[in-house]
Chain A
Amino acid sequence: MATSTYLSNPGVQINSISMTDQCTSATVTNTAEALESTAFGGTSRVFVSGLFNQEITLDLYMSYAASETYATLAALVGTTTTVKVSNTVAGLTTPSATEPCFTLTGAYLEALPVINATMGELSTISITFKGGVLTTAVS
């Protein structure tokens, strides 16, 4: 039985800044683009690997206080940076086989929702870092 339940452990670091206490969701996707190589004579579609295309999507509480979400992200729009995600906070600094650290270097932040306001709710934003090189550290 393979299950992973996340309560408060995952660690998130954006541009060296810990955003663990503002993050509610993190998805790291490692994609190898599929190039079709089906040829005459084939009866099923066949694909080969193209370029790798990585993505990290994070849901964060928005805060305009010093050293918080807005201050961390505002200057990163249109630039590249390094984003780290691990299933534990300890994994960010001391990764292991059971606490791997996924690092996206050269991750591009295309868009930042600067305000997402709804009456009576905590403001949250969803951001996506695209591209870059994904490495997995297990030691």
Chain B
Amino acid sequence: MTYRIVSPRIGTPGDKFEPEAGVNVEALLLHGFIVEDKAPPKSAKTITNNPKD
């Protein structure tokens, strides 16, 4: 799981957030200091229906 900074109190907004040992990440997420980095959605697979003879 990776995180991105939202609040300037933590660092530069938009930068990747790497929690140090012991940091309570859930508390940071709860109050919007950081957000989870969403993985880009996978592209849809196109299923071709070519019945072979």
Contact = CB atoms under 8 A, between A and B. Distances in A.
Interface of A: 15-19, 66-67, 71-72, 74-76, 79-82, 105-107, 132
Interface of B: 7-10, 17, 19-24, 26-28, 30-33
B32 A105 contact: no
Given A81-B24, A82-B23, A18 B31 contact: no
A65 to B, nearest CB: 11
Nearest to A20: B9
Main secondary structure of the interface of B (DSSP, over half): loop
A111 B26 CA distance: 18
A105 B21 contact: yes
8 contacts: A15-B24, A16-B10, A18-B9, A72-B33, A79-B24, A80-B22, A81-B23, A81-B24
